[in-house]
Amino acid sequence: MRLGTMTSLFRDRRECAEHFGYIESVQRCRKAGFTVLDMNLCALNRRQTTLHLDNWQEQVDEIRNEAERLGCVFSQSHPPYRRGREGTFATAEEEAFFRAMSLRALEITAMLGAKWAVIHPVMDVTADINDVDAHVRYNQQMFAREAELAAKLGVGLAFENMFDGDQRRFGSTAEDLIAIQDSFHSDLIGICWDVGHANRMYRDQLKPIRKLGSRIKALHIDDNLGKDDLHLLPFEGNVPWEQVMHTLYDSGCEADLIYEIRNNANMPEALRDVTARYCYEVGEYLLSLYR
């Protein structure tokens, strides 16, 4: 297990709506101490990066070259995700662009040498919530092209645990994720465990971690108070991190410890680098608990 962070640690600017470019994000993550990265591509279909442009491959080459120069590696990525429980769009044009960017995100993942791409499962809102087979079939249908391309590229797809809101949402439990994973019959389909999401779903997330064990191929590390998805730094919420880290170790999970945190984003520019370094130090302490 290695410590890493999403490039989105340096994505949002406090002073304006414009995002940091990926190369600057990589540089500043490295300056903070991180050498393992997750390529956060969630904003790709919203055109908030420049990777939707025709020269995207040239841009990715530049990002990869800069990461290699700095001694950084990409462990995983987070492609764009379908919003809402059913993952549908208002227009066919919006869905077509989303699909194109989702497939592009997998190509970017492969070009950067990352092994896993994290995706959000969806649910068939026309089916009964307890009809697991229907929801699994829906995910197979919705992600068929992604799974086919990922297999050709040698990239794994890791389905991430969601959380229930006002209604039950398929994909929120360990059992849901196992059903999806097993249905594909492929070693390139895995599970991403988001500790923050699980803190909202479970009184005790240690049990599902034990159940999933080595099925977990990617981790999203963040904290909250059990209600809202705050994406706080570990130890700023009520996740029992000592127990979580020991259980990850004991369960056989060897996925990298990847931050998905937002608390650095609202810092004034003069404090961004120093708070990022603090995040790194907290992560190093977390790694010391993995035993």
**Quick one: average pLDDT of 218-236?**
96
Q: Are 162 and 197 in contact (CB under 8 A)?
A: yes
The pLDDT of residue 22: 97
pLDDT at 264 over 80: no
Q: Are 102 and 64 in contact (CB under 8 A)?
A: no
pLDDT at 274 over 80: yes
The pLDDT of residue 12: 85
**Quick one: average pLDDT of 200-217?**
97
**Quick one: average pLDDT of 84-98?**
83
Look up tokens 């700023």; give the residue: 236
The pLDDT of residue 72: 98
Confidence class for position 85, pLDDT limits 50, 70, 90: low
pLDDT at 113 over 80: yes
Mean pLDDT of all residues in the chain? 95
Burial 174-193 (b: 16+ CB within 10 A, else e): bebbbbbbeebeeebbbbbb
The pLDDT of residue 35: 98
Lowest mean pLDDT among 207-211, 222-226, 231-235, 265-269: 265-269
The pLDDT of residue 287: 97
pLDDT at 86 over 70: no
Burial 8-18 (b: 16+ CB within 10 A, else e): bbbbbeeeeee
| Portion of the chain with pLDDT greater than 90, in percent | 88
**Quick one: average pLDDT of 25-46?**
96
Confidence class for position 179, pLDDT limits 50, 70, 90: very high
- 57-70 confidence digits (pLDDT tens): 999 999 999 999 99
Q: How far apart are CA 259 and CA 99, in angstroms?
A: 26
pLDDT at 121 over 80: yes
Q: How far apart are CA 255 and CA 236, in angstroms?
A: 23
pLDDT at 51 over 90: yes
The pLDDT of residue 245: 98
**Quick one: average pLDDT of 171-185?**
97
- Entry pTM: 0.95
The pLDDT of residue 13: 85
The pLDDT of residue 165: 84
